[in-house]
Structure 1
């Protein structure tokens, strides 16, 4: 079953990616269309979602090595990273804090349950790290994954529009913005701009994940204590 559902998920993703290439619409994005297609198949054949998740775990486990692979372009451009290290650290730190605080107050204002609030907080980092942060602070990893996907898709769509609107030309600025705001999807979009954009987006995504992990033991408990 593992091979069957891994292959099924892969081919459905490729199919949805081709559709998105032909019809450039928000609703044809693979991260929207692929899950919808899989849900429909599971519903039609009455296959339990829990068993599907277990059978396709191989794909989830590959997220870790895929994230680590981003180190290759980072190493290649290490001289630029060293040159702009202070700007990078400040930008990513500010972005990660802004993501956590905005997430907290948006869910707090709509009077979401504590579990929902804690599940939303790590939404702006890559899935493998977001899941671990969610577990550590008492959130629901499955729910966190949904918000991570939504954030990635929204950032991947809105980010290029913001870049165009503000006439941002710096590859460093483009990469840091897309990586912090839309993690994996943003990095994929940054790669379309160029290698430098993709490099800094990868770095931003990785640093954002580690910083959010740090905030999960400092900033997040403080927010909960002050506003609960």
Structure 2
């Protein structure tokens, strides 16, 4: 019975995602984005069939283990364009450090301002990095990893929708700027969107996402404890 649940959960998740991706590829409308449409469809299916989430997650959790290898796979385009990355090392490093610091501080201050609970605040802080890293950081600093995953997904979807609009609005033309912006602001979703624009944009988005994860880990253990002691404790 357990094997049937595992196989069924994986197949349902796969076909829902596959259908969402096909729809997005055809119409290019943000509502069909797999990150947005897939969870909605899965929630409806579980609700209508009255299958408990815990039962579904018994099988679907194995798919979440692929997040780590998927993140590492972004190193492939980085390796192919390593000469360009070396050429723009300073601007990449500066923009990612500043972007990561702003993401942490702004998330924290906004959460304190609207009087969120300490656990929600610590869950919100690592929202601007890729899911597997964000969940680990959240757990370490006292947050709720599952809530952090939700915040990461919301951030990714919002950034991947608003990012291209901001690029057009401010007439950003450099591939480096487009890629770094999308990778920093919306991690995996933004990187996927960047590759739709171009390979070079996707490469820099990959670099931004991976570098942002490293920088955020450092800042989460340095800047965040100070803010936490001053404004929460």
Q: CA deviation at 1:42?
A: 1.3
Matches within 5 A, 1:11-90: 11-90=15-94
Gaps of 5+ in 1: none
Question: Out of 159, 163, 167, which is 2:163 matched to?
Answer: 159
Q: CA deviation at 1:45?
A: 2.0
Question: Out of 181, 186, 201, which is 1:182 matched to?
Answer: 186
The alignment's C-alpha RMSD in Å is: 1.2
Q: CA deviation at 1:20?
A: 3.0
1:107 aligns with 2:123: no
1:169 aligns with 2:173: yes
Q: 1:200, 1:134 → 2: CA distance?
A: 26
For residues 207-226 of structure 1, what are the alpha-carbon distances to aligned partners after superposition, in whole Å with 9 as ceiling and x for unaligned? 10111111111111111111
| Count of aligned pairs | 228
TM-score of the pair, normalised by structure 1: 0.96
| 1:130 paired residue number | 134
Gaps of 5+ in 2: none
| 1:143 paired residue number | 147
TM-score of the pair, normalised by structure 2: 0.94
1:215 aligns with 2:215: no
**Aligned partner of residue 139 in structure 1, secondary structure:** coil
Q: CA deviation at 1:123?
A: 0.6
Q: Does structure 1 retain, via aligned residues, the 8 Å contact 2:183–2:191?
A: yes
Q: CA deviation at 1:22?
A: 4.3
Q: 1:18, 1:73 → 2: CA distance?
A: 24
Q: 1:92, 1:51 → 2: CA distance?
A: 40
| 1:193 paired residue number | 197
Q: CA deviation at 1:59?
A: 1.3
Q: CA deviation at 1:27?
A: 3.0
- Runs of 4+ aligned structure 1 residues displaced above 4 Å come to none
Q: Does structure 1 retain, via aligned residues, the 8 Å contact 2:9–2:57?
A: no
**Aligned partner of residue 126 in structure 2, secondary structure:** coil
Q: CA deviation at 1:102?
A: 1.1
Q: 1:198, 1:163 → 2: CA distance?
A: 14
**Aligned partner of residue 134 in structure 1, secondary structure:** helix
**Aligned partner of residue 112 in structure 1, secondary structure:** coil
Q: 1:27, 1:114 → 2: CA distance?
A: 32
Q: 1:51, 1:79 → 2: CA distance?
A: 48
